Homo-oligomer: A and B are copies of this chain.
Amino acid sequence: MTRDSADADSFFGEMRPIGAAVAAKLNHHAPLDAAERAALDAFLGRNVRRLHDRALLIEQGVAPTEISIVLEGWACRFTDDGGGRRRIVALYLPGDVCDFDAFLTPAMDQSIAAIGGARVAGINRSALNELARKQPKISQALWWESLAAAAVQRAWTVNVGRRDALPKVAHLFCELYFRLSLVGMVEDGRLSFPLTQIDIADACGLTPVHVNRVLKELRAAGTLSLADRYLTIHDLPAMTSDAGFDPSYFPLHSVQRTPANAPVITPV
């Protein structure tokens, strides 16, 4: 079974610009004007790959030649567990950069694979240099993005630590709900959800069997529905309460940020 969602290609009816999700994300850090959005689209459109379910974007041990940005679909970063199971350490949604460290590491410490089919833009070193030179605001927003990703990674470290199973799963769902909301991919509490129960288990540090039981419990409580690769949150307050979810770890309030308040160590 390939799990490629039938409508992955047409989720936005091909009407949305190629970098819509990326622009939406970066916009939370620094508002982009029409010209900048167009430039971003042009950069992202240069080198687009379509990947099927489980296809590797980047393999552990290899030195990448480009950084990858998810345009459509999901991807996950993982290490192999030796027993065929994966230890998922991060999930990448539309608009996310998978590997900020691409040009730093001599070899990737983990692999990244598509989940349920994805479209990914690759940006090589010279293109990125060009982007940094011509579009400083965009490259600055990318720097902020890397710090936001670090905050999410810390939240995962907390979540995967010693907690009961149900809060773990609920927290994952809350985070995904929140992150997808930021790029306009949640409608009426309903979102495309390509993860299998095995994937959820690998991301939460649980067994698939127990994830199944947790889901049963969440369904019985009327908190959510999960079927046919779609997740619907029926009771968001119950969900966030179960999860102990506090979205304040997303450093996104850039809208209120004044220029004088701008960060440093950024491309000039």
Residue positions of A touching B, CB distance < 8 A: 77, 79, 87, 89-90, 100-101, 103-107, 109-110, 125, 128-129, 132, 139, 142-144, 146-151, 153-158, 160-162, 205-206, 248-249, 251, 253, 256-257, 261-268
Would you mind naming 15 contact pairs between A and B with Cβ atoms under 8 Å apart? A90-B157, A101-B150, A103-B261, A103-B264, A105-B251, A109-B248, A109-B251, A128-B264, A132-B264, A139-B265, A142-B265, A156-B157, A157-B157, A267-B267, A267-B268
Q: How far is the CA of A262 from the CA of B129 in the complex (A)?
A: 11
* Contact of A265 (CB < 8 Å), options: B79, B109, B143, B261: B143
The 5 closest A-B pairs by CB, nearest first: A161-B205, A162-B205, A109-B249, A103-B263, A105-B251
Tallying the copies of this chain within the complex gives 2
Cα separation A239 to B150 with both chains bound (whole Å)? 28
Determine the chain B residues whose CB is within 8 A of the CB of A89 once the complex forms.
154, 157-158
Q: In the assembled complex, which residues on chain B have CB atoms less than 8 Å from the CB atom of A161?
A: 87, 160, 205
> Which of A105, A128, A148: most chain B Cβ within 10 A?
A105
Given contacts A153-B154, A157-B157, 4 further A-B contacts (CB under 8 A): A104-B263, A106-B253, A110-B154, A266-B267
CA distance A176 to B263 in the complex (A): 30
For residue A253, which residues in chain B have a CB less than 8 angstroms away from its CB?
106
* A65 shortest CB reach to chain B, Å: 11
Q: Which residue of B lies closest to A125 (CB)?
A: B264
Q: A265, B132: Cβ atoms under 8 Å?
A: yes
Supposing A157-B156, A158-B87, A160-B161 touch, asked if A150 and B265 sit within 8 A by C-beta, the answer is no
User: Bound state CA distance, A150 and B102, in angstroms?
Assistant: 12
Select which of B109, B129, B151 is within 8 A of A109 by beta carbon.
B151
For A103, the closest partner residue in chain B by CB is B263
Per the bound structure, the CA–CA distance linking A100 and B257 in Å amounts to 17
Nearest-CB residue, chain B, relative to A124: B264
Q: List chain B residues, Cβ under 8 A from A156.
A: 157
Interface centre among A148, A257, A264, A268 (most CB of B within 10 A): A264
State the CA gap A257–B107 with chains docked (Å): 12
* Minimum CB distance partner of A29 in chain B: B104
